[in-house]
Structure 1
Amino acid sequence: MNLPDGTLTITGREGFTTFIKKQLQVRFVHLQWVDYTNTMRVRVLTLRHFQNLLQLGQHLAVCRHYLSLIDIALPFTDRDPERPSGQCYLIPDFDSLRLHPGHDEQAAIFCYFGQGIPSEPSLSAISLSFKAPTCPRRALGQAISRLKQFGLDSRVGFELEFGCKQTRCDTGQVKEQVHQSSGLRALESFMLPVLCSITDALESVGVPIEQFHCEGSENAYELVTDC
Structure 2
Amino acid sequence: MSVIPIYADLGILHTPASIAAAFTTLTIQDLKNAGIKYIHIQWVEPSNIIRLRMVPISHFEKMLQSARPGIGIPKVTGGFVYLVTAEGYGAAGEYLYVPDMSSLRLCPYAPGTASIFGWLEEKDAYKGPDGQMTAKTLVCPRAKVRDLVAEAQKDGVEFLIGFESEFNLLTSINPVRAGSHHQYGGARGLLVGLPETKALQEIVDALIDSGIKVEACHPEAGPGQYEIVTGPLSPLAAADVLVHTRQTIVNIASKHGLHATFAPRISMTAPGSAAHMHISAHRVGEKKPKETLSSLEKSFLAGVIDDIRALSAITLPIPASYKRVGDGVFSGGTYVAWGTENRECPIRLSNATSPSSRNFEMRFIDGTANPYLVVASFIGLGYAGIKSKRELHLQNFSSASGPALLSEEERQARGITQRMPLTWEESREHLTKSKALREVLGSEFVDKYLSVNKTLAGALGIHDGDEEKSLTHLVELY
> TM-score if structure 1 supplies the norm length?
0.65
Give yes or no for the alignment of 1:96 onto 2:100.
no
Task: For structure 2, list consecutive stretches of 5 or more residues without a partner in the other structure.
Answer: 1-24, 127-133, 233-478
Give yes or no for the alignment of 1:179 onto 2:190.
no
Displacement after TM superposition at 1:84 (Å): 1.8
CA distance in 2: counterparts of 1:21 and 1:178, whole angstroms: 42
Contact 2:169 2:178 in 1 (8 A): no
Contact 1:115 1:133 in 2 (8 A): no
Paired residue for 1:122? none
C-alpha change, 1:178 and 1:146, in structure 2 (3 Å) is same
Paired residue for 1:65? 76
CA distance in 2: counterparts of 1:42 and 1:102, whole angstroms: 16
Contact 1:28 1:105 in 2 (8 A): yes
CA distance in 1: counterparts of 2:76 and 2:137, whole angstroms: 15
Displacement after TM superposition at 1:139 (Å): 0.6
Paired residue for 2:147? 142
Secondary structure of the 2:118 match is strand
Secondary structure of the 1:108 match is strand
Paired residue for 1:206? 211
Encode CA deviations 1:112-170: one digit per residue, 9 max, x unaligned. 11123369xxxxxxxxx731321111111112122223322221222333322579xxx
Pick one of 16, 38, 41 that aligns with 1:28. Answer: 38
C-alpha change, 1:212 and 1:131, in structure 2 (3 Å) is same
CA distance in 1: counterparts of 2:110 and 2:199, whole angstroms: 22
Displacement after TM superposition at 1:83 (Å): 4.3
Paired residue for 1:225? 230
Give the share of equivalent positions with the same residue, in percent: 27
CA distance in 1: counterparts of 2:171 and 2:114, whole angstroms: 34
Aligned positions, number: 192
CA distance in 2: counterparts of 1:159 and 1:52, whole angstroms: 37
CA distance in 2: counterparts of 1:117 and 1:185, whole angstroms: 57
Residue range with higher mean Cα deviation, 85-94 or 209-218? 209-218
CA distance in 2: counterparts of 1:56 and 1:197, whole angstroms: 38
C-alpha change, 1:50 and 1:70, in structure 2 (3 Å) is farther
C-alpha change, 1:53 and 1:208, in structure 2 (3 Å) is closer
C-alpha change, 1:83 and 1:166, in structure 2 (3 Å) is closer
C-alpha change, 1:64 and 1:219, in structure 2 (3 Å) is same
Encode CA deviations 1:63-122: one digit per residue, 9 max, x unaligned. 1233354423xxx34x99x94253211111122334443556444322111123369xxx
Residue range with higher mean Cα deviation, 190-199 or 110-119? 190-199
AA in 1 matched with 2:38: F
Which residues in structure 2 correspond to 1:1-227 (within 5 Å)?
19-20=28-29, 23=32, 25-57=35-67, 59-67=70-78, 69-72=80-83, 76-77=84-85, 83-84=90-91, 86-101=93-108, 105-117=112-124, 130-165=135-170, 177-188=180-191, 190=194, 191-192=196-197, 194-227=199-232
CA distance in 2: counterparts of 1:62 and 1:164, whole angstroms: 32
CA distance in 2: counterparts of 1:113 and 1:224, whole angstroms: 29
Secondary structure of the 2:143 match is helix
Contact 2:106 2:210 in 1 (8 A): no
Secondary structure of the 1:157 match is strand
Displacement after TM superposition at 1:218 (Å): 1.8
Contact 2:178 2:223 in 1 (8 A): no
CA distance in 2: counterparts of 1:175 and 1:111, whole angstroms: 36
AA in 2 matched with 1:204: D
CA distance in 2: counterparts of 1:204 and 1:102, whole angstroms: 10
Residue range with higher mean Cα deviation, 131-140 or 83-92? 83-92
AA in 2 matched with 1:110: F
CA distance in 2: counterparts of 1:155 and 1:68, whole angstroms: 31
Task: For structure 1, list consecutive stretches of 5 or more residues without a partner in the other structure.
Answer: 1-14, 120-128, 168-173
Secondary structure of the 2:158 match is coil
Secondary structure of the 1:113 match is strand
Contact 2:104 2:115 in 1 (8 A): yes
AA in 1 matched with 2:124: I
CA distance in 1: counterparts of 2:76 and 2:190, whole angstroms: 40
CA distance in 2: counterparts of 1:175 and 1:70, whole angstroms: 27
Displacement after TM superposition at 1:199 (Å): 2.2
Contact 2:104 2:117 in 1 (8 A): yes
AA in 1 matched with 2:94: Q
C-alpha change, 1:200 and 1:51, in structure 2 (3 Å) is closer
Paired residue for 2:444? none
CA distance in 2: counterparts of 1:83 and 1:19, whole angstroms: 36
